[in-house]
Amino acid sequence: MHDFNVDIEHITRVEGHGNVVIDVKAGEIRELRLDIVESPRFFEAMALGRTYKEVAHITSRICGICAVTHTTTSIKAIESALDFAPSAQTIKLRKLLLNAEFIQSHILHVYFLTAPDFFRVGSVFGMIKDNKETVLRGMRLKSLANELCALVGGRHIHPITLKIGCFSKNPERKDLIAFKEKIIKARPEIEKTVEFFKNLKTPKFERETEYISLTCPDEYALYDGNIKSSDNGEIKPADYLDRVKEFMVRHSTAKHAKANRDSYMVGALARFNNNYKHLHPRAKEVAEEIGLKHPCYNPYMNNIAQVVETVHCFEDSISLIDNLLSNGLQDEKAELTPKAGRGVGATEAPRGTLYHEHKLDDNGKITYGNYIIPTGQNLANIENDLRAMVPGILYKEKDDIILDIEMLVRAYDPCISCATHLMKVEFVNG
Amino acid sequence: MDKVGKVIIIGIGNLLLMDEGIGIHVINELEKHKLPENVDIYDGGTGGFNLIDMMHGAGNIIFIDAVDTRKAPCTITTFKPEDVRSIYPRKKYSLHDTDLLEVIKMAELLDNPPEIEIVGIQPKTINYGITPSKELRDAMPDIINTVLSRIEEVCSVHKLARERS
């Protein structure tokens, strides 16, 4: 197919979305863009003038799927501005809660959004007829992660125990013990998940790019660490603007970003590439079983990296629970003194590195805010992937080309419109 | 509490977008009322498919949400999922685009799926802000009365069923 023109409109109930526009003439790409037409986000403005104690409550509501990460990142920015270091126990509980969010988000993505593509059924509802047990397994694993989220965070959507300085309520010892047993009992389900995704045929496409993620010297960095680029090493989170360069493009109301090259990738595959050596041994075994070799330059494999990270997060949760139990959980209180300052929080969200920056005045009121979400950082890279990929698949039927394009965008697990969820309805007898 | 008797009220929406968060504001208001002991209320936020885990073990669920029914602002419309035209399947790039009807559809896979109804409130303004529009704030007593009467009716149906058995 030498000529190919497609506008893959994202049909949905709100006006914010990603449309892929591609125009190919005589085998040459004339136009290619990922249109993001959602309203610009003004969450930073909502934080201005509020006290440092209020801001995490606001940011926890930016997204229902990444609420733990937004809250954690916000808290870390405030703690940094106030020169406060949380206790080892608080950090472990935060890591446990982040693991819960990663598992829940990854499981939802791979089972509910990625898997239907391989069966060409349009959506997860199309899988129910022939693969009901697979869908139910996804639901069970998601529920297990939500249970952990509720155990540590007080509830599984928009957690409430996560506060500046410490947790307002610790999980009960007996509940942690019981939950560890549940993870162990769930291992066969996790193995079946690995088996299921191993047997799906991921499209072959490679384009090496710059990979950015947090990194730590002694663990697989999700909660904290320096910002690592696969191109040029590490910098401190406070210097994030030296690396992340946001810019506007005409066709998108969401900002794009670049660092050393004209685009970079964040998310599970970037973390896998940058921090492979710190994965849990079982996660490394799974990566090998499932065909994810380090380093990997196939963006479609981001989904597989999410499966590998799911295994890591389950196993790491067992270690964290053991550690918390052996040290005993202490009730904690944290006293923070308001003062002027600047703080940056950088945390890995399931979709990639999330940055929150705040400046405070002498009274601890917010005078400045800047949040950079993972999807904005990936947009330019998705376009570059498409530019590299589309010429190589023009020999296919149009429907197959469209599916390959859609699968690539979905592989990045984009958070295109987490801001509004207004339902529009049309009544049958209306 | 037996499953049949459990009634769960879930308010959903985004608290940062004025009337979009009306479901949560209603839940916050309901917390001030004494409700029957078989009734639980939850702030579902923008949980998407994770809302399913709030639905386990319920005989009845009442969702409260901002719904565009193309009627006048503050209009309250109570309906069941089957009253609405099917929208499946549709293209999706992001899990963040999950809407309530899809969540309900997925919940049909639960053992003994609950009876579900939706109290939909027509928003006036959806923009950045943590308080609803004046119109919706003024309409809050009517919204609460509607929700309370739905709770009363669902609970009385349960009571009747228990007496008959």
Give per-residue pLDDT as tens, A162-174. 999 999 999 999 9
Question: Residues A104, A155: contact at Cβ < 8 Å?
Answer: no
Q: For each of the domains in chain A, give its residue range(s) and CATH number, in order of start.
A: 4-39+397-428 (no CATH), 43-378 (1.10.645.10)
Cα three-residue angle A201-A212-A356, rounded to 5 degrees: 120
Tens digit of each residue's pLDDT (9 = 90 or more) over A311-348: 999 999 999 999 999 999 999 999 999 999 999 999 99
Residue A14 pLDDT grade (very low, low, confident, very high; cuts 50, 70, 90)? very low
Q: Select the residue of A42, A125, A421 nearest B14 (Cβ to Cβ).
A: A421
Chain B residues within 8 A of A144 when measuring between CB atoms: none
- Mean pLDDT of the A68-90 span: 97
- Mean pLDDT of the A296-318 span: 98
- Mean pLDDT of the B68-95 span: 77
Q: Select the residue of A65, A155, A158 nearest B96 (Cβ to Cβ).
A: A65
Q: Note the pLDDT of residue A12.
A: 31
Tens digit of each residue's pLDDT (9 = 90 or more) over A148-164: 999 999 998 889 999 99
CB contact under 8 A, B93 and A10: yes
Which of A21-30, A366-375, B63-72 is predicted with the least confidence, judged by mean pLDDT?
A21-30
Residue A392: count other Cβ atoms within 10 Å of its Cβ: 11
Q: Note the pLDDT of residue A421.
A: 45
Question: Residues B50, B100: contact at Cβ < 8 Å?
Answer: no
Q: Which of B115, B93, B23, B47 is nearest to A143 (CA)?
A: B47
Q: Note the pLDDT of residue A204.
A: 93
CB contact under 8 A, A421 and B13: yes
Which of A11-20, A181-190, A219-228, B123-132 is predicted with the least confidence, judged by mean pLDDT?
A11-20
Question: Residues A141, A197: contact at Cβ < 8 Å?
Answer: no
Question: Residues A408, A202: contact at Cβ < 8 Å?
Answer: no
Tell whether the model's pLDDT for residue A93 goes beyond 50: yes
Q: Note the pLDDT of residue A135.
A: 95
Which residue carries 């595959």 as its tokens? A269
Q: Note the pLDDT of residue A109.
A: 92
- Mean pLDDT of the A190-215 span: 96
Q: Select the residue of B45, B67, B79 nearest A158 (Cβ to Cβ).
A: B45
Alpha-carbon distance values, A314 to A187, A218, B6 (Å): 9, 18, 32
Residue A38 pLDDT grade (very low, low, confident, very high; cuts 50, 70, 90)? low
Chain A residues within 8 A of B17 when measuring between CB atoms: 419-420
Tell whether the model's pLDDT for residue A381 goes beyond 50: yes
Which pair of tokens denotes residue A128?
């129910």
Q: Which residue of A has its CA nearest to B13?
A: A421
CB contact under 8 A, A121 and B105: no
Tens digit of each residue's pLDDT (9 = 90 or more) over A259-287: 999 999 999 999 999 999 999 999 999 99
Q: Note the pLDDT of residue A16.
A: 43
Q: Note the pLDDT of residue A154.
A: 95
Chain A residues within 8 A of B48 when measuring between CB atoms: 64-65, 108, 421
A 378-417 residues with CB below 8 A of B?
Answer: 406, 409-410, 413-417
Tell whether the model's pLDDT for residue B88 goes beyond 60: no
Q: Which amino acid is residue B14, in one-letter code?
A: N
- What's the mean per-residue pLDDT of chain B? 86
Q: What DSSP letter does each residue of A78-122 carry, written as one string? A: HHHHTT----HHHHHHHHHHHHHHHHHHHHIIIIIIIHHHHHT-S
Fill in the DSSP letter of residue A172. Answer: P
Residue B165 pLDDT grade (very low, low, confident, very high; cuts 50, 70, 90)? low
Residue A44: count other Cβ atoms within 10 Å of its Cβ: 18
Rounded to the nearest angstrom, the minimum Cα separation between B43 and chain A is 8
Tell whether the model's pLDDT for residue A11 goes beyond 50: no
- Mean pLDDT of the A47-51 span: 94
Pick the more confident residue, B145 or B112: B145
Q: What DSSP letter does each residue of B25-37 carry, written as one string? A: HHHHHHTTS---T
Which helix (DSSP H) or strand (DSSP E) does residue B88 occupy?
none
Across the beta sheet with A18-25, the strand order is A4-8, A18-25, A28-36, A252-258, A245-249
Interface probe with A: pick from B56, B65, B79, B97, most Cβ of A within 10 Å:
B97
Write down the H helix ranges in A328-422.
374-389, 398-411
Rounded to the nearest angstrom, the minimum Cα separation between B69 and chain A is 6
Pick the more confident residue, B1 or B19: B19
Q: Note the pLDDT of residue A15.
A: 36
Tens digit of each residue's pLDDT (9 = 90 or more) over B97-141: 677 888 888 888 887 889 999 999 999 998 888 899 999 999 999
Longest Cα separation, chain A:
69
Q: Note the pLDDT of residue B56.
A: 86
Tell whether the model's pLDDT for residue A378 goes beyond 80: yes
